[in-house]
């Protein structure tokens, strides 16, 4: 299956099942970030290794992104959380699931855990944070900048020079998303969870940061806020940990799931050793 119809919204879904035909050890839902991101960030990095380890791997493109539909309006955080709930309901994923969220994808994961705690077994949050007033203010600044500059040819040429033509193409797509929708205005206007709601999240959380990222200094705050949260730091990395260090994220994810009871197989990818390798945008993707 590739597309779900969520009340008129086309949702591009990819699901990788364990290849040995045995029942999956757990269901993992992979949530991507904003703007330059899509499910491809997982499809070519984490997802094959997780499926090989015996997991049911579910990923989808957020509204406006990748191959999902792009309505002109409706981009507040709660809409993205509604979509996640709808995907789980439509695919009849009943048991609690493990959520892996990159950047904004983690923000969606925290919101689902606050809204439907019985649905979430655990969260692995990569360079991410729950929504808060400070988060909304920061995203407002980032999105305003992106909206202004990602449609400028000189900016796109600079991105191509610094980061390569593929990233420039992703940046151009992000510019089109911002120009064609209310996303930049909607995200900062999201319904924000109250601190008490975040404190009520009981599921285990592993927060992954790059040591060079501006989010890393929030680790102690998040550890203190959540009931069961631990932080880990990837040396030398900035915000794009998933893209720049996929092998590290793979190992962290597999050991995290093992620690929380998933009976994983010693899956070996058919095409030999897994090395760092990605084909996704680097940079922005909050």
* Contact residues for other proteins, defined by CB under 8 A: 2, 14, 16, 19, 38-41, 43-45, 47-49, 52, 61, 66-67, 164-166, 169-170, 173, 269-281
- Minimum separation from the CB atom of position 81 to other proteins (A): 22
In a 3-state reduction of DSSP, which class is residue 182? coil
Rounded least distance, CB 187 to other proteins, Å? 21
Closest distance of CB 19 from other proteins, Å: 8
d(CA 64, CA 72): 9
DSSP 130: -
Where do the H-state alpha helices sit in 1-149? 40-43, 46-52, 77-90, 104-115, 133-149
- At residue 58's C-alpha, the angle toward residues 56 and 59, to 5°, is 155
Reading the block at residue 52, the tokens are 């090989």
Tell me whether strands 9-16 and 56-60 are parallel, antiparallel or unpaired: antiparallel
Report phi then psi at 192, rounded to 5.
-100, 135
Contact between 124 and 206 under an 8 Å Cβ cutoff? The reply is yes
- Please state the closest distance from residue 64 (CB atom) to other proteins, in A: 12
Q: Give the CA-trace dihedral at 183, 186, 187, 190, to 10 degrees.
A: -150
Smallest distance, Å, CB 116 to other proteins?
28
Which lies closer to other proteins via its Cβ, residue 189 or residue 269?
A: 269
Of 91 and 274, which has the nearer Cβ to other proteins?
A: 274
Closer residue to other proteins, CB minimum distance, 14 or 213: 14
Alpha carbon distance 167, 36 (integer Å): 8
Rounded distance between C-alpha atoms, residue 248 and residue 245, angstroms: 6
Q: State in angstroms the smallest separation of the CB of 276 from other proteins.
A: 7
How far apart CA 113 and CA 123 sit, in angstroms, is 9
Q: With respect to other proteins, which residue has the nearer C-beta, 76 or 250?
A: 250
CB-facing half-sphere around the CA of 243: CA atoms within 13 A = 24
State which residue, 126 or 170, has the beta carbon closest to other proteins. Answer: 170
User: Considering beta carbons, is residue 43 or 135 the nearer one to other proteins?
Assistant: 43
The residues pairing with 206 across neighbouring beta strands, listed in sequence order, are: 124, 230
Q: Tell the smallest beta-carbon distance from residue 200 to other proteins (Å).
A: 35
Q: How far is the CB of 269 from other proteins (least distance, A)?
A: 5
**Which CB sits closer to other proteins, 169 or 199?**
169
C-beta closer to other proteins: residue 18 or 122: 18
3-class secondary structure, 146: helix
């Amino acid at each position: 299956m590739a597309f779900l119809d969520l009340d008129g919204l086309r949702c591009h879904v990819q699901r990788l099942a364990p290849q040995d035909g045995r029942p999956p050890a757990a269901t993992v839902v992979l949530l991507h970030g904003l703007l330059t991101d899509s499910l491809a960030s997982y499809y070519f990095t984490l997802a094959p290794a997780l499926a090989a380890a015996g997991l049911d791997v579910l990923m989808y493109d957020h509204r406006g992104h990748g191959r999902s539909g792009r309505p002109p309006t409706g981009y507040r955080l709660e809409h993205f959380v509604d979509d996640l709930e709808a995907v789980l309901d439509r695919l009849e994923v009943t048991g609690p699931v493990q959520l892996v969220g990159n950047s904004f994808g983690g923000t969606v994961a925290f919101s689902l855990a606050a809204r439907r705690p019985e649905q979430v077994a655990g969260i692995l949050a990569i360079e991410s944070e729950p929504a808060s007033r400070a988060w909304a203010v920061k995203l407002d600044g980032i999105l305003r900048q992106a909206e202004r500059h990602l449609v400028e040819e000189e900016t796109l040429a600079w991105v191509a020079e610094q980061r390569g033509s593929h990233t420039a193409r992703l940046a151009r797509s992000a510019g089109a998303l911002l120009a064609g929708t209310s996303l930049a205005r909607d995200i900062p206007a999201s319904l924000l969870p109250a601190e008490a709601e975040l404190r009520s999240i009981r599921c285990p959380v592993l927060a992954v940061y790059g040591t060079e990222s501006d989010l890393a200094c929030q680790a102690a705050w998040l550890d203190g806020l959540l009931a069961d949260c631990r932080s880990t730091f990837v040396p030398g990395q900035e915000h794009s940990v998933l893209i720049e260090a996929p092998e590290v994220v793979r190992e962290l994810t597999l050991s995290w799931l093992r620690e929380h009871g998933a009976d994983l197989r010693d899956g070996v990818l058919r095409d030999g050793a897994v090395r760092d390798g990605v084909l996704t945008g680097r940079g922005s993707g909050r």
